Structures are given as C-alpha cells and as structure tokens.
Structure 1
Amino acid sequence: MSKFSEVLTPDNAVLAMIDHQTGLLVSCADEHPLVVKNNIQGLCNMAKTLGLPSVVTASLADGPNGPIMPEITKILGDKVINREGEINAWHSSEFKSAIEATGRKKIIMAGIVTDVCLMFPALSAVEEGYDVYAVIDASATWNKTVQQASIHRLTQAGVKVTTWASVLAEIMSDWRSDKGMELGQVLADHTTSYNYVMNSYFARS
C-alpha cells in the first residue's frame, strides 16, 4: 500500500512536539498566539485520549528559547528531551532514539518555528523512510510568507501537510469507535464551530 493512501491509526502513529517554547512562540505572527495555543492543546489532548506515544523536545531551554509551553507538559507529562545544541531535532540521538523506540513509522509532527524546528526534522525523517504528517496549524513562524515557503518545501519532499482537526478525524475514522465520542469532545473543546455542533447534539438528546 502506498504511504500516501495508508491512513493514521491509533496503533501506527507517534506524536512529536518540537520546540514549542515560550521564547519562540512570542515572536510568531503567522497566526494569533491564542489560536496556535488552542490548536496545540487540541493536538496534545487527542494524543492523550488515544494513548499515543509522544515525544517532546526543546532546544536551549535554559537560553533565550525558553522552556516548553506549560500547556503541553500539563497534558503530555513532564518528560522533555532537552537537546544540547542541535537545531535539527533529528540530529539528537536521544530524540531520534525515542521515536525509533515506539516502533512506529508515522510521525505526527508539529514545531515552532515552522521553517526550522518542524521542517528540518520532517525532511530528515522522510529521508529515512518515515511517513511524516506536518501539523501546520499547531506550528507557527514569523509571518505568512515564511509559512507558505515552508509548506512548499515540505510538500516537495513528500511530507503530508495537514491540520490537527484533520489528523483527529483521520485517526478516529468512525464515530462508533471506542474513542469516538471522547475525540468528538476534544474537537468541541478546541474549535468554536464544533463546540456548537456538540452543544446542539446534547441539547436534543
């Protein structure tokens, strides 16, 4: 089966959250910071609901980049791989080993900033045979021009550029699945429009 048609499942994917650090987030302007934060929380809560393995990493956490957003560690736990200096997280043996240890070849990946922290490890992982889903709306960068340039380069390399809600729907697959309603609630909690859908449903129940 082509990797372009094989879908995400709770058993074949790992979540990688790369450099979502407070010092980097404040400089991002391609989307409102509150929207980005909400999308990041939605993605993390999806992974927690499904019990997906997750790998969180930071670059120079004691320096200007700052620590990982507390919203992420609150959901996924306090384990963070603090890289010694590698800009490309894939060049960190600890990060790469953590991904390999899951035995999963599909990586749901998000990072700040998009054109460096997300793009470089995504390209490296694809080169080594991984199927990478770059969650563009749970990532952020300096402006829309940089975001668009990053999307072009990612897609040219075979990375699947996607959104967190699309990932959730793909991995849920069926509302009748064991986690269907829980995932629906995650979607409602982090998207205004679907919150109204769920409210309407429960009002009729």
Structure 2
Amino acid sequence: MRILPEDSLVMVVDYQERLMPAMANQEALLIQATRWLLGVKLLGIPTILTQQNTKGLGMSVEAIRSLLGSEKPYFEKIAFSALADEAILREVESQGRGTLVLGGIEAHVCVLQTAIDAKALGYEVVVVSDCIDSRNPRDKEIALRRMEQEGIWLTTSESILLEWLQRAGDDRFREMLKIIK
C-alpha cells in the first residue's frame, strides 16, 4: 500500500510536559518527532493534536506546540484511545482521509489503543516507529509487534516523508533534505 499525502491525516498523541521526561529515549524521540512534524508542515498534511488529562500531564512540549502553531487547538482526552472521544472522532471523520498516521506516547497505551480503534473503524493506520516511545523499551517493542499483528503499518519518519514527497529535484525536496539530514 502506498501512503498518499492527499489521503493522510496525522495524529500527534500526547507529547506532554510531564510525560515526555519519563520516556526511555526522550531526546531521540523529540528530535525525530520534530523532524517529522517539520516535514508534515512543509507538505501541508492536516494534523490533529491530542493531550491526555492536560491538568495532570501538562501541555504538549514546547517544541511540538511551536511547530504546530499556537492557533492549532489541542483535543483533550481522558480515554487512552483518542478515538473513544467523540470530538476527536468527529474531527478525524470530518477530514475525509482514509489513512491515519500516528506518532506519540506512550506506544503501548494511547498510541496502540488509538491505532487498533482506527483500524476497527476502517482506516488504514500507519505508526511512525521512531516517533513513538514508552517508559520501558520492552513495552514499546511488544506494542510494535502487537500493531503488526493487528494489521497496522509501521514506518519511519524519513521513509514516510519521502513517500509523501514522491520525487526529488524540486524546491520541496531541497527543503525536505534540510529537515531530514
């Protein structure tokens, strides 16, 4: 299956201030997520930002918020699956896209449950594996295996950005190279 930009919707799951420091590979995660979202922005892929229990876990980290812009509202959620929230589900459906592309934390909880629910709703689901993490590396490893068993596609940030771009030799490609290098 080709992942097409015109059919893709990005969901940024819970990269929050009090949760991010607990991630096993937080520095690498933030670098990759930032690169990925810069590329998403360059390509104009629509994006939904979620936050789990903002009162308890804080806002999305500044690096993510600044990339998405302060005018980009976040969707508050309490359920682990973002799609268990009616407002988020309506927003996803209103975009009219068939492929949901996920990055976020934690891999074995909110990302996994959102991915499984999206698959059950008929979406093609792609998880950007270098843009997810868990507190415990084993939890991430098992989550990735479970996702594959559920029929969820796994990719990397560079791979999906270049798949969405589709070709070299123009200004967007040169801009993308600056992002991924």
**Structure 1 length-normalised TM:** 0.83
The offset of 1:34, in angstroms, is 1.5
Could you list the runs of 5+ residues in structure 2 that have no partner in the other structure? none
Residue 16 (1) aligns with residue 8 (2): no
Contact 1:25 1:140 in 2 (8 A): no
Contact 2:80 2:114 in 1 (8 A): no
Residue 26 (1) aligns with residue 21 (2): yes
C-alpha distance in structure 1 between counterparts of 2:161 and 2:169, whole Å: 14
Contact 1:28 1:143 in 2 (8 A): yes
Could you list the runs of 5+ residues in structure 1 that have no partner in the other structure? 189-205
Q: Equivalent residue for 1:107?
A: 100
Give 4+ residue runs of structure 1 displaced > 4 Å after superposition: none
The offset of 1:76, in angstroms, is 1.1
The offset of 1:177, in angstroms, is 5.2
How many residues were matched structurally? 179
State the secondary structure of the residue aligned to 1:138: strand
C-alpha distance in structure 2 between counterparts of 1:184 and 1:142, whole Å: 31
Q: Equivalent residue for 1:172?
A: 165
Alignment identity in percent? 23
Change (3 A) 1:92 1:175: same
C-alpha distance in structure 1 between counterparts of 2:125 and 2:39, whole Å: 17
State the secondary structure of the residue aligned to 2:134: coil
Q: Equivalent residue for 1:181?
A: 174
More strand by share: 2
Of 128, 150, 158, which aligns to 1:157? 150
The offset of 1:141, in angstroms, is 0.2
Q: Deviations over 1:166-205 (max 9, x none)?
A: 11121111113562222122112xxxxxxxxxxxxxxxxx
State the secondary structure of the residue aligned to 1:37: helix
Of 99, 113, 118, which aligns to 1:125? 118
Which amino acid is 2:147 matched to?
L
Q: Equivalent residue for 2:75?
A: 81
C-alpha distance in structure 2 between counterparts of 1:177 and 1:88, whole Å: 39
Which amino acid is 1:181 matched to?
R
The structure with the larger Rg is 1
Greater displacement, 40-49 / 177-186: 177-186
State the secondary structure of the residue aligned to 1:26: helix
State the secondary structure of the residue aligned to 1:23: coil
Change (3 A) 1:158 1:178: farther
State the secondary structure of the residue aligned to 1:136: strand
C-alpha distance in structure 2 between counterparts of 1:108 and 1:186, whole Å: 19
Residue 58 (1) aligns with residue 51 (2): yes
Q: Deviations over 1:88-131 (max 9, x none)?
A: 11101111111111111111101210001110000000011101
State the secondary structure of the residue aligned to 2:22: coil
State the secondary structure of the residue aligned to 1:137: strand
C-alpha distance in structure 2 between counterparts of 1:42 and 1:86, whole Å: 28
State the secondary structure of the residue aligned to 1:179: helix
